[in-house]
Amino acid sequence: MTASKRKLKICDRGHKFYKSSDCPTCPVCERERKPKQGFLSSLSAPARRALENIGITTVNELSNYTEKEILNLHGMGPSSIPKLKNVMEQNGLSFKNSAGDAK
């Protein structure tokens, strides 16, 4: 996309950035708030926000959802699922199965 189609935006904290979409997310603020450790630190910003928006901040909370429920979240892509499965496996957890029981 050409630079001419991008609009200058300014976030509430005064950061200036260009976006071609209506997305209000400031890339500077997103970089600053990205966790330095933990399972959320390995995810893309949209995937991380998708989990945070429904209150998932720990691996234990994540294990209360099915893989399908997580994939249906806006911002969550299929490349995030292997990362999530890996961290849950390391903690002795897994996604719920579709019947609602633990795998």
Within-domain flag for 2: no
User: Are 43 and 28 found together in one domain?
Assistant: no
pLDDT band at 4 (very low <50, low <70, confident <90, very high): low
Indicate whether 71 pLDDT > 90: yes
Indicate whether 69 pLDDT > 50: yes
User: Are 59 and 102 found together in one domain?
Assistant: yes
pLDDT band at 99 (very low <50, low <70, confident <90, very high): low
Q: What is the domain count for the chain? A: 2
**Prediction pTM value:** 0.70
Q: How far apart are CA 87 and CA 23, in angstroms?
A: 30
**Dihedral over Cα of 41, 72, 53, 14: its sign:** positive
User: Are 66 and 26 found together in one domain?
Assistant: no
Residue given tokens 């199965």 in the structure block? 97
What is the chain's percent helix, strand, coil content, to nearest 5? 40, 10, 50
Residue 18 domain boundaries:
8-33
User: Are 22 and 46 found together in one domain?
Assistant: no
Which tens digit of pLDDT belongs to each residue from 10-49? 888 888 888 888 777 877 777 777 777 788 988 988 999 9
